[in-house]
C-alpha cells in the first residue's frame, strides 16, 4: 500500500479526504465511503472527536481504512487526553500500521458544556510533536518514523499571532 508520506515525496499534488466518523453510521456505510475514496485519494484524514458529539475512535477508523487499502492520517487531540493516554494512542497507532499523525491542541469546548465536561489540555502541540517523533523513531513499528504534520487555523488571528 502506498502511504501519504510516499505520495508527498513523489507527487506534485496530493489528495486526502476527511473520513466521516458519525457514531450512528453502520460499519458497511463507512466501508462504502472507503471503497469510493480508495481509487482517488492518497490518504484519508481520521479526526479525533474535535466536536462534542460521540464518534468512532480514530484508531478504530484508521484500522478500517488500512484494511481497505487506504493510508490513514490520524489526528490526535490533547483536549480530551492526558500525556500517558496520548503516548499510548501514538504507540498504538504505530503498532496498527499508521504512518502519519497530525497532533492537535483541540477545540475549546462550547460554553454550553463548560462545567459539565472539562478539557484536559495536558500537552501542548509542540510537546506532542516531540513525543510522537520520539515514539515513531524508537518504537520499531514504523520504518523511518512517523510522518508528522500539524494544522493551523489563521482565520481572524489575534494581532500578535505568530505561525
Tell me: pLDDT of 112 over 80. no
Cell numbers placing 34? 472507503
Average pLDDT for 115-126: 82
Cβ within 8 Å of residue 91, ≥6 positions away: 135, 139, 141
Tell me: pLDDT of 143 over 70. yes
Distance between CA atoms of residues 91 and 98, nearest Å: 10
pLDDT score for 154 = 63
pLDDT score for 46 = 95
Q: Which of 88, 54, 57 is nearest to 74 (CA)?
A: 57
**What are the tens digits of pLDDT across the range 24-67?**
889 999 999 999 999 999 999 998 877 667 889 999 999 999 99
Query: What's this model's pTM, rounded to 2 decimal places?
Result: 0.86
CATH of region 4-148, choose from 3.40.50.11540, 3.20.20.220, 3.40.50.300, 3.40.718.10: 3.20.20.220
The domain segmentation of the chain, as residue ranges, is: 4-148
Amino acid at each position: 500500500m502506498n502511504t501519504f508520506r510516499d505520495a508527498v515525496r513523489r507527487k506534485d499534488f496530493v489528495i486526502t479526504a476527511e473520513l466521516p466518523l458519525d457514531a450512528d453510521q453502520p460499519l458497511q456505510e463507512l466501508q462504502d465511503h472507503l471503497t469510493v475514496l480508495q481509487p482517488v485519494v492518497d490518504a484519508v484524514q481520521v479526526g479525533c472527536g474535535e466536536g462534542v458529539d460521540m464518534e468512532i475512535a480514530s484508531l478504530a477508523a484508521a484500522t478500517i481504512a488500512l484494511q481497505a487499502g487506504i493510508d490513514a492520517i490520524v489526528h490526535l487531540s490533547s483536549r480530551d487526553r492526558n500525556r500517558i493516554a496520548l503516548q499510548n494512542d501514538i504507540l498504538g497507532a504505530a503498532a496498527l500500521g499508521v504512518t502519519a499523525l497530525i497532533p492537535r491542541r483541540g477545540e475549546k469546548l462550547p460554553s454550553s458544556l463548560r462545567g459539565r465536561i472539562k478539557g484536559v489540555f495536558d500537552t501542548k502541540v509542540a510537546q506532542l510533536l516531540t513525543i510522537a517523533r520520539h515514539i515513531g523513531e524508537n518504537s520499531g513499528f514504523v520504518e523511518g518514523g512517523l510522518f508528522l504534520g500539524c494544522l493551523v487555523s489563521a482565520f481572524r488571528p489575534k494581532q500578535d499571532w505568530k505561525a
